[in-house]
Structures are given as C-alpha cells and as structure tokens.
C-alpha cells in the first residue's frame, strides 16, 4: 500500500491543487488524472454519481500520481466506510457543525478501539492481498480527514471542531457559508471575509490545514492560496466542459456571423 501523496505534501507545508469530479465516467477521470492534478475530489453529495462509478474512475486513474478523495453525501458511518473501502485516500465530510459531529467523523474513519469503522476494506486492501498493511498503517496514518465548515453554527463551534484529534483539514464551503450568513455569494462582504479569517486563524491555532474551493478560475485560486489556504479544488469536470463548449460555440459563431 502506497502513501497518501496529498497528505505527505501537506505535512511538508506545500499547497495541493486538484479538481472536482462530478460526471462519473472513467474516460473523464483518466483525462483529469493524467493532467497532473494533486488530487481528484469525487463529489457524491451534490452530483448524481454512485460509488460504483467512483470506484471505476479511481481504478482507471490509479496509474497516475493523483490522490483519490471523496466527498460523501453526509456524516454517516455507513457512507464513510463504503467510500474508504473502495480505496479513497481521504474524505470530505459535509455539514460538520459541532465538536460531537467532528468526533463522529473521526470515529467513522477509524477501526476499533479508536473508532467504529467496520472491517471490510475490499479494494482498499487490494481485495485482501494487502490487508495487514492497510489495517496497521494506511488506515491509521494515511487517510486524510477533511471537515467542511459551511454554516454559522460551525463558525460558532469552530474551536470544538478543530480541537478534535484526527481532523486534518477544515474546508470552507464558500457558497453554503455565505448562504448561512444571509449574504449569498457576497464573497467581498466584510461579514464573509471576517468568517474566512476566523477559520484561517483557528486552523493555525489548532494546527489544522485550511482548505477552500478554488472558485472556478486560476486567479481566484491563487488569491485564496495567498490568503493561506493550502488545499484547493480549482473547478470541476462539468465546469471545464461547459467552458470549453461555450468557448468553441462562440468562436465558430463569431467566424460565420
């Protein structure tokens, strides 16, 4: 069993840039992986893809040095263990709003006696051929646990959330956080900026990696890196497809008009 390359880079203080995957097709996953992103974040919360599709995508992407991460649909032990069992090197847990919910996420990722994860690391242990290494090392040391900070309540409980041992990364969900604050998509609003700075300060205090969505463009991603964020998915496969389609359409329309 290899290392979690993203977790290793983060330990060294480096920035990791990746992409969301929402379409669920192996061809798309292979193209994304061969591009060279640090990670691919498979979204099973807001996209229609199922874990069978995610596993197929992870399999075709495995020959490239792109770390597979999965956003599960909810902070649910069953969803978490299934995502880990197909070979995710890390998980993004949405809607973590309290210390107890952060602790639940950690315990769901860990085997007893430290947690409640049931044993059955199917593909994660290469179908039982690498079970000992997965159980003794990889599951304990290499899984990256990311909690999503996306509500006013999470901000109020930020100390408790980030103090939980086993929380590696705090991911600011800008859209949901702005909605929760009553200022949807007003990312320049002082209230939103203050919330983001709070997360950054608390991450530094508790030695947790700050993360944030890249915002869809290289420029916005760079701005957020400059703010202090160190794990950022730039955009999604859907975003890239829409942009390419619209650019191509407008180019040919301009030529023939």
| Phi and psi torsions of 171, nearest 5° | -105, 115
Single out the residue of 25, 29, 91, 36 nearest to residue 65, CA to CA. Answer: 36
Asked if 30 and 58 touch (Cβ cutoff 8 Å), the reply is no
Dist. CA 6–CA 75, nearest whole Å:
22
Dist. CA 30–CA 110, nearest whole Å:
30
Active site residue 46: yes
Asked if 7 and 89 touch (Cβ cutoff 8 Å), the reply is yes
Dihedral, 87, 239, 18, 177 alpha carbons, nearest 10? -90
Q: How is the chain split among helix, strand and coil, in percent rounded to 5? A: 50, 15, 35
Out of 21, 46, 89, 207, the active site residue is 46
Name the CA radius of gyration of the chain, rounded.
Answer: 18
Catalytic site residues?
A: 46
């Amino acid at each position: 069993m290899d290392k979690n390359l993203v977790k290793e880079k983060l330990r060294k203080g480096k920035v990791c840039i990746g992409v969301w995957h929402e379409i669920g097709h192996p061809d798309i996953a292979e193209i994304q992986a061969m591009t060279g992103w640090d990670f691919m974040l498979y979204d099973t919360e807001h996209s229609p893809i199922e874990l069978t599709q995610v596993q197929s995508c992870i399999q075709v992407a495995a020959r490239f040095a792109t770390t597979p991460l999965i956003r599960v649909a909810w902070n649910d032990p069953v969803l978490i263990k299934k995502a880990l069992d197909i070979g995710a090197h890390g998980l993004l847990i949405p809607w973590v709003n309290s210390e107890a919910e952060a602790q639940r996420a950690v315990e769901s990722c860990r085997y007893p006696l430290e947690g409640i994860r049931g044993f059955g690391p199917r593909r994660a242990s290469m179908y039982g051929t690498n079970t000992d290494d997965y159980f003794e090392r990889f599951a304990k040391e290499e899984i990256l646990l990311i909690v999503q900070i996306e509500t006013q309540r999470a901000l109020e409980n930020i100390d408790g959330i980030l103090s939980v041992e086993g929380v590696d990364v705090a991911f600011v969900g800008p859209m949901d956080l702005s909605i929760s604050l009553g200022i949807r998509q007003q990312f320049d609003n002082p209230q939103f900026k203050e919330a983001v700075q709070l997360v950054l300060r608390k991450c530094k205090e508790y030695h947790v990696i700050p993360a944030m969505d890249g915002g869809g463009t290289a420029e916005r991603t760079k701005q957020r890196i400059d703010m202090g964020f160190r794990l950022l998915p730039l955009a999604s496969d859907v975003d890239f497809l829409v942009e390419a389609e619209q650019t191509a359409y407008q180019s040919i329309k301009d030529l023939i008009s």
